[in-house]
Amino acid sequence: MDVHTQERSIEDLRIALQGRRSPAAQQLRLAIEATPRQPAETLRLAVLLQQDPLFAPYGLQLEAANSRTSAREFILLGKHAEALEAAQKALTLFQRASDNCPSPLAVRKLPEELGRTQSVAGEAYHGQQQWAEAQRTYESAFAHFAASGLLKSFLPETLGRYAEACARQVPPSKTRGVALSPSCLEWLRRFVQLEGQSSPKAQAIAKHVALKALGDLRPPASARTPAPSAALDTQAFAQAMDLYRARKFEQASSAFQALPETYPTSPHVLRSRYWRGRSLAQSKKPKEAKQVFQALVEDAPLTYYGLLAALASGEDLQARIASLTPKASTRDPVLTQCEFTRVERAEHFLSEGMGTSAAEELQGLATREVARFGSSFLLYLAMLHSEAGDDPVTFLAVSELLRRKHPSALTPFTLRLLFPPRHLELVQKYATEHQLEPALVLSVMKQESSFRPTAVSDQGAVGLMQLLPSTAEEMEKGIGKQLSQVEPNIRVGTKYLRKLLNHFCGNRALALAGYNAGMRKVANWRKQGLVQDELIDFIEALPVRETRDYVSQIIRNHYWYSSRVIDTKPLPMEHFWSSGASAKTQKGRCPP
């Protein structure tokens, strides 16, 4: 057996990883730090890196970027021949790097790097009045940027030079007409459509080519997206719940049973299985109900509905956590040579505390075609991503192990991968200050951002606890621009969570719903009678799936954080539904 595929204790592998050192990774970090203030030092280190086959792509990329910078400097000095030589050298170096197993991030950025370099070369050709070469090189740059979705990033001056290169190739009497080449017409029209005829870019083009010569400049009509309708599986679940609420329990049981069979990939599968068990219990079929609940716990022990099923059946979830330390292998036989290289580079980066670089190297391994890897290597990948601080991918890898029902998935080590106690000292500090349990704060952070400090939502919420800048400013003036920093985000996030708890009289479930959907929506749901007497009924009645999932997942997170990760005392479900003793009384709303 290959030494890399032999299984070893995952704890031993983690300790070994932290104990090694990598001179090449150190050189790369120094080279990155030297850019752009010390170009000579960057170039020296880049050349050294190219002597190491493992890190050669990084050295080639650094030298290429250095050469492109030199090309720009030559252009400023009017030395267009030297600029062209430097730009062409940069293009060659980028291509060589792409042939030597670069990181996935470098592969994705290659079109942009080539486009930027060709734009510089196009400017050098323009300076030499080599119009045809300038046109061709600019168009190659445009194509690369279009592939990267960056076409709008070209400056007006660049488009002006391109338009001039196009115009200079036709007789002066026709440059204001339609004698431009088809490719010139196509690209110039596209830029004007993107920016508008009154934009600075369009005006730069118009200095050399009449805009009317470009044809129809109206932006292409965008296809209308039809309004989404409720999915069939969602309708089926709602119908089954209606039967349950109408106390037609046998019919409800049949409807809940049918949903997973008809829609096996539906997000409502676990819900349906749990409510089928409830329906059977209400139908006076306790034995069948217990079988349904036990099967749900067996298949999904770490989920919210698995937790509910365990409570309903009297099963001890903690007994399912094996006390062993799982074993893992550092490689898998199905890895390609390039993938093998990327894992090795990631290990080097982690040994030097370069988590971001390690995560970049590992991109895609645990998220694409993950079924091809053995469980021992997948566990090792999960650990590497966790060490790199890449928690979202860690969660995906552990979820796959759970799906496979692999023994390593239900161990204390793997639970800490799935429920990491990130920033625990700060969490404990501000949780204590605002009379919150640390498990609740960690649970919110996990659900809000997967512990990514720089996460930004579509609505503009920022950071670990996903705070809107406007909300954060209400809590603490001047904090809006600091929300991507760990400590300010936790400090203000815990303060806001306490405010919500006070507003909802200490009811954690209502406060969490308010954190996700806003206090006004929760108030409206209460007016509509959607706030039920029982916690589970309240969660199921929430009309917005995102909020329903949010509250239920935080309850699940809280159970495992409080019972296994930072404490050993899981709190009862009522903890999320009763008024807490620390809730501040507000006249007319909260009981004394």
Q: Which residues are catalytic?
A: 448
- DSSP state, residue 460: -
Nearest to 562 by CA among 549, 552, 575: 575
For 63, residues 6+ apart whose C-beta sits below 8 A from its C-beta are 43, 46, 47, 50, 93
Helix then strand then coil, % of the chain, to nearest 5 = 65, 0, 30
Determine the Cα–Cα distance for residues 120 and 138; give it in Å rounded to an integer.
9
The amino acid present at 331, given as its one-letter code, is R
Intra-chain end-to-end CA distance of the chain, in Å: 69
**DSSP-derived secondary structure letter, 57:** H
DSSP for 168-236, please give it: TTS-GGGTTTT-S-HHHHHHHHHHHHHH-TTSHHHHHHHTTS-GGGG---SPPPPPPPPPP---HHHHH
Say how many C-beta atoms besides its own lie within 10 A of residue 574's C-beta. 9
Exposure on the CB side of residue 386, measured as CA atoms within 13 A: 26
CA distance 428 to 188: 58
3-class DSSP state for residue 352? coil
**Is the CB of residue 414 less than 8 Å from the CB of residue 401?**
yes
DSSP secondary structure letters along 250-311 = HHHHHHHHHHHHH-TT-TTHHHHHHHHHHHHHHTT-HHHHHHHHHHHHHH-TTSHHHHHHHH
DSSP 8-state code for residue 570: P
Single out the residue of 179, 217, 222 nearest to residue 201, CA to CA: 217
Q: Is 355 in contact with 347 (CB distance < 8 Å)?
A: no
Q: Is the peptide bond before 39 cis (omega within 30 degrees of 0)?
A: no
DSSP string over 324-350: SPPEE-S--TT--HHHHHHHHHHHHHH
**DSSP string computed for 83-108:** HHHHHHHHHHHHHHHHTS---HHHHH
CA distance 497 to 515: 7
- Locate tokens 């049973």: which residue? 257
